[in-house]
Structure 1
Amino acid sequence: MQLNKQTVLITGASRGLGAAIAEAFANEGANVIINYFKSKQKAEELVERLGDNAIAVQADIRDKNQVDEMVDRAVSHFGTPLSTVINNALVDFRFDPGAQKNAAELEWDNFQTQIEGTVKGSLNAVQAGLAYMKELGFGRIINIGTNLLQNPVVAYHEYTTGKAALLGFTRNMAKELGQYGITVNMVSGGLLKETDASSVTTGEVFGMVELVTPLQKATSPQELADAVLFFASPWARAVTGQNLVVDGGLVMD
């Protein structure tokens, strides 16, 4: 399915990377569902910028009923089935190395928050779209990961653990859903310059990353969004279960 025929749900899309992904799909002519939890004003401003092929819908991705209602409302609004899910939402986390708890300070609740936001939220979004994708005989599920799995420059314990679980989720879903024409992949960025979540990252950390990155720069949200477009496009029709690292070559896996 061409990008301009797709109806795309992007979780956590009101700002940062999610907003960049929403803009990328809208620029290709896709119908875009901008999910937000708290950032209503930013989500509405983004819809105003993108125009008639975008709608903002509030939902806590950890709540299955809210996610189902969001998808049903958006599908009714556009009059087209959901074809594409981008699991991008980040729940209660910022990339602040100074505030990160160390191994002695961590509590299970820190991990639970990230696992629920990352894996449970993704499961809810996939299940909300699955019947539509099976009906179409086509689906694209793209999960947002991190290169910290391969290279934990900063030990963001709970965040990285949640994303590691998401990689397992990606590959298991790819195995099961391929029979329905649905591909499931992951795009893993490095430290993005910049998003709301990385705005508290120190210049020292950015400088360290840029120094050892072959392209000598931090990846932008727009550059990562382009890789997401690839996985949703017809050019990636034979690719599933993969994790593409988009970080300027810092991690070569």
Structure 2
Amino acid sequence: MDQHVPPLLRRGRSRRLQALRNRASARHRGPARVHRDQAPQLRREADAVVKAQASPARAAAQELAGQVAVVTGAARAIGRETAETLAARGASIVSIDLADADETVAAIESRGGAAVSIVSDVSEEDAVGPAFEQALETFGRIDVLVNNAGVFAGVERRPFWEIPVDEWDRLMAVNLRSVFLCSRAASGPMREARQGRIVNIASNVITFGMANLMHYVASKAAVIGMTRSMARELGPFGIAVNAVAPGLVTTEITVQTVPEEYRKLVADGQCLTEAILPSDIAAAVAYLAGPSARMVTGQTLLVNGGATMGPA
């Protein structure tokens, strides 16, 4: 039951547990070292240690209660699943998307959560500022930012020497500049509060490159570099910055735009050959946004079924 706990920590727990047991039973050995009224309390403490060892704290419900999470691109797919997952853990949600996220908001509110949808272009500086001001006016704070908005589906694959400059600029604006603009806007209230979490959605293509999609690969690789730099700059303010790098996720969009044969080929190349779902990515984001990741920053979490391994 303690297989994932470092040996030193296990020994420390064991010593504490034994000490509690010894104290609780001390009245049965010679001169009383523990007052009779203290024994039941000490036994309860010992039982609590046993319970903690057997069931590590994993209670996700309401671990983000009282916090506010901004999720870009939350109208559908990974963004929507992430927004609903964070809401289920107690966070109030602000969706910022070019599309109206009314369905996301309705789903969250139907379960007793709080959410608002702000229609805005996160790649435009003049739009991002007012969007975050509205988020602050609505909920008064920003604790979590998930930079999920991005372009992939529908991008035409072609050799890099055939990529039009306007297409390059469009991908860089949505996939990269939006991360910069939104992180800059969110970091203000986070720095003032001296706490916060930023999670950037990258891609596992950064680990192996992908032919004929150089602009997409470059944009996501830059997100990883930005994540690490922001982690260093924001760490002194108690703000953690990490990235999640998904493999090919099965969504309505990918089903419509990616041939089934290719999706099967990708899945067969994974160690875990089941389809990667939006919920898998949302769970990774929720971990990085939650208290269990208190000392995790500057990292890239690959969620790709083991398609690639090693540091990103």
Q: TM-score, normalised by structure 2?
A: 0.75
Q: How does 1:21-36 map to 2 (within 5 A)?
A: 21-36=82-97
Name the structure 1 match of 2:43: none
Name the structure 2 match of 1:139: 196
Name the structure 2 match of 1:181: 238
Name the structure 2 match of 1:83: 143
Of structures 1 and 2, the one with the larger relative CO (CA 8 A, separation 6+) is 1
What are the superposed Cα offsets for residues 24-62 of structure 1, whole Å, 9 maximum, x if unpaired? 01111101011111x22xx11211111151100011112
The answer on 1:193 being equivalent to 2:257 is no
Give percent identity, aligned residues only.
Answer: 31
- Report the Cα distance in structure 1 between the residues aligned to 2:268 and 2:154, rounded to whole angstroms: 19
Name the structure 2 match of 1:44: 102
Residue 196 of structure 1 and its aligned partner are, at CA, apart by: 2.0
Determine if contact 1:195/1:221 at 8 Å carries over to the other structure. Answer: no
CA change 1:197–1:65 in 2 (3 A) is: farther
Determine if contact 2:63/2:90 at 8 Å carries over to the other structure. Answer: no
Name the structure 2 match of 1:63: 124
Determine if contact 1:89/1:118 at 8 Å carries over to the other structure. Answer: yes
Residue 108 of structure 1 and its aligned partner are, at CA, apart by: 2.7
Residue 232 of structure 1 and its aligned partner are, at CA, apart by: 0.5
- Quote the RMSD (CA, aligned, Å): 1.7
Name the structure 1 match of 2:134: 73
Name the structure 1 match of 2:301: 244
Determine if contact 1:192/1:198 at 8 Å carries over to the other structure. Answer: no
Q: How does 1:194-233 map to 2 (within 5 A)?
A: 194-197=251-254, 199-233=256-290
Moved more, 210-219 or 237-246: 210-219
Residue 5 of structure 1 and its aligned partner are, at CA, apart by: 2.4
Name the structure 2 match of 1:13: 74
- Report the Cα distance in structure 1 between the residues aligned to 2:85 and 2:118, rounded to whole angstroms: 18
Name the structure 1 match of 2:6: none
- Report the Cα distance in structure 2 between the residues aligned to 1:219 and 1:188, rounded to whole angstroms: 12
Determine if contact 1:95/1:201 at 8 Å carries over to the other structure. Answer: no
- The one-letter code of the counterpart of 1:250 is A
- Report the Cα distance in structure 1 between the residues aligned to 2:83 and 2:203, rounded to whole angstroms: 19
Q: How does 1:106-121 map to 2 (within 5 A)?
A: 106-121=163-178
Q: Which runs of 5+ in 1 are unaligned?
A: none
Determine if contact 1:13/1:19 at 8 Å carries over to the other structure. Answer: yes
Name the structure 1 match of 2:291: 234
Runs of 4 or more consecutive aligned structure 1 residues displaced over 3 Å after TM superposition:
152-155
- Report how many aligned residue pairs link the two structures: 246
Give 3-state SS (helix, strand or coil) of 2:168's partner: helix
Name the structure 1 match of 2:42: none
Give 3-state SS (helix, strand or coil) of 1:161's partner: helix
Q: TM-score, normalised by structure 1?
A: 0.92
Give 3-state SS (helix, strand or coil) of 2:75's partner: coil
The answer on 1:94 being equivalent to 2:94 is no
What are the superposed Cα offsets for residues 130-189 of structure 1, whole Å, 9 maximum, x if unpaired? 121012110100000000111345542211110011111111100111000001100000
- The one-letter code of the counterpart of 2:150 is L
| Larger of the two Rg values belongs to structure | 2
- Report the Cα distance in structure 2 between the residues aligned to 1:172 and 1:104, rounded to whole angstroms: 30
